[in-house]
Structure 1
Amino acid sequence: MTTLPTLLNGRHAMVAGVGDAADHVATALAALGARITRITPPSVDADIIAAAFADAQSQQGQPVDLLVHGGAPLGVGNAETVSLDVWRKGFSADIDGRFLYASAFARSRIAAHDRGAILFLLPSPRITGGRTAQLSAHGALDNLVKSLAVEWGRDGIRTNAIASHVVDGFAQATEAARASLGHLAGYILSDHGAYISGMVMGIDELPS
């Protein structure tokens, strides 16, 4: 029987993204036995991303077989104050970046004829004022997760996401909710979660 400290033994996780939530997930995966390559800030340049995967394999002595992408901060503000240039740059850093890392990861796994798992960390889907960019990106990423899960499922590559207030408000979350983020990420990426793909899961606030 696999014990929790060895749940991800032999796995190599690249964790791309900025912020406390991505840092926490990286620490949680390391505690479960995974080797970690931390990328911050993540790029939106395909050549730089390809080089990051090659460097990670060289430094860790094994290819990346788990990918976590925490996206880029899209900020909060009234929709009427956001310029087109800011809108496009934010979406490129977030959605384009996630897609480019995922596609580079999938190409590597398919070429190796080996399995892999992708996990996107998303902000809460709660609809409130000032979150137009975040919520628009969330809708796009919800469909991206499902479509990639279907497309790459035959290649043994699973794609899932965690969407929660803990991701975009880590400092304000309870200790129980923070711990749940790491626990759920580890479970989804492990072989225990091998049946899970195409899902966007949340983390409810737990009683203290």
Structure 2
Amino acid sequence: MAQDSTRYGTIFSPGLFDGQVALVTGGGTGIGRASAHELAALGATVVVAARREEPLIQTVGEIRGVGGNASWTTLNIREAEEVEAVIGDVVEEHGRLDLLVNNAGGQFPAPSEQISPNGWRTVIDLNLNGTFLVTRAAYTTWMAEHGGVICNVIADMWRGFPYMAHTGAARAGVDNLTKSLAIEWGRSGVRINAVAPGTIYSSGMDTYDESFRTHAARRASKIPVGRVGTESETAAAITFLLSPAAAFITGATLRVDGGASLEKAAMVPLEAHTAIPPYNGFHLAREIPEAWVDDGEPDA
């Protein structure tokens, strides 16, 4: 069936979120933008928030251009007072806050020994602390009394995140936070889950240099499904977790990675080495043959 190129091609039922209000942080670009479009296409009134005005204005214009209901607000999720004020304004203007997508975040690739204390704190503050501040404000301002659904966007960090240690640590923290809050807040009618995208062909890739993007693209053949993912596939997972179809799911993290986390390769090339010698206390053991030592050449 041909897709209408003028509207979001959602697979969910029309009107799924009629009458509901959604806040999407980081909603001006990438996965956040796609999620905002999909939620609006399904009837939600969407508020997109981020630090930069220009992408937000563009996203809201796109949504309104196809008949959706959207507005924008600037927000630095690292500032607790600002977060509480913005959440309060959303509830005051729209009378409710049913859905929250914590998509805002950011990081930069670097060897761990080269990450400065300030760089480390900035990434942790944005990805972990900021997520907590927005989630807490949404709960205390509205959801504690009225219920709601929250979806956190984290990352594929299950087998470590070399050259991204700061964001790996932060996203792992959000994964655990998701579980903790699901237990604490179920009594208030709140469900909270997360999605963990793998390598997604998104505008977020534009923040990295050409060598990083090239290596990420070359990894596509290593992903079990044979390609990188799309913003739409991630947005669909978020939408599912926000929907009544996931009413019995809370405290879960859905991996949207094409199976990459089952056989993860590094986001940047790792240097081959033999710096850590083997221990072999068994006097009759065989020596490791050279053919079994990584020579640094790419796989065929």
What SS does structure 2 have at the residue aligned with 1:185? helix
Q: Identify the structure with bigger relative contact order (alpha carbons < 8 Å, sequence gap 6+).
A: 1
1:116 matched to 2:125: no
- Structure 1: gaps spanning 5 or more residues: none
The alignment's TM-score, normalised by the length of structure 1, stands at: 0.87
**Alignment partner of 1:96 is 2:129:** yes
Structure 1 residue 90: deviation in Å? 1.6
Distance 1:190 1:159 in 2: 12
Equivalent residue, structure 2, for 1:49: 83
Amino acid corresponding to residue 109 of structure 1 in structure 2: W
Give how far 1:71 is off: 3.2
Could you tell me how far apart the structure 2 residues matched to 1:24 and 1:98 are?
A: 19
Deviation at 1:91, TM superposition (A): 0.7
Q: What's the % identity of the aligned pairs?
A: 28
Residue 6 of structure 1, aligned match among 12, 15, 28 = 15
Amino acid at match of 1:78: P
Q: Map 1:1-208 onto structure 2 (within 5 A).
A: 4-17=13-26, 19-41=29-51, 42-59=76-93, 61-110=94-143, 113-125=145-157, 127-166=160-199, 169-171=201-203, 177-205=230-258
- What one-letter code is carried by the residue in structure 2 that aligns with 1:180? E
Alignment coverage as a number of residue pairs: 201
What is the CA-CA distance between 1:62 and the residue it aligns to? 2.4
Rg larger for: 2
Give the partner amino acid of 1:179.
Answer: S
The structure carrying a bigger helix percent of its residues is: 1
Distance of 1:179 and 1:50 partners within structure 2: 30
Cα distance 1:176–1:95, how it changes in 2: closer, same or farther (>3 A)? closer
Q: Any idea what the Cα deviations from partners look like across 1:3-35, whole Å, max 9, x if unmatched? A: 612111111000012641111111111111111
Between 1:144-153 and 1:178-187, the stretch displaced more is: 178-187
For 1:63 and 1:10, locate their aligned partners in 2 and report how far apart those are by CA, in whole Å.
Answer: 10
Q: Which 5+ residue runs of structure 2 have no aligned equivalent?
A: 1-11, 52-75, 204-216, 221-226, 260-300
Q: Does the Cα contact within 8 Å between 1:77 and 1:131 map onto a contact in 2?
A: yes
Which TM-score applies when normalising by structure 2? 0.62
Cα shift at 1:204: 3.7
CA distance in 1, matches of 2:229, 2:175: 25
Runs (4 or more) in structure 1 with deviation over 4 Å come to 171-176
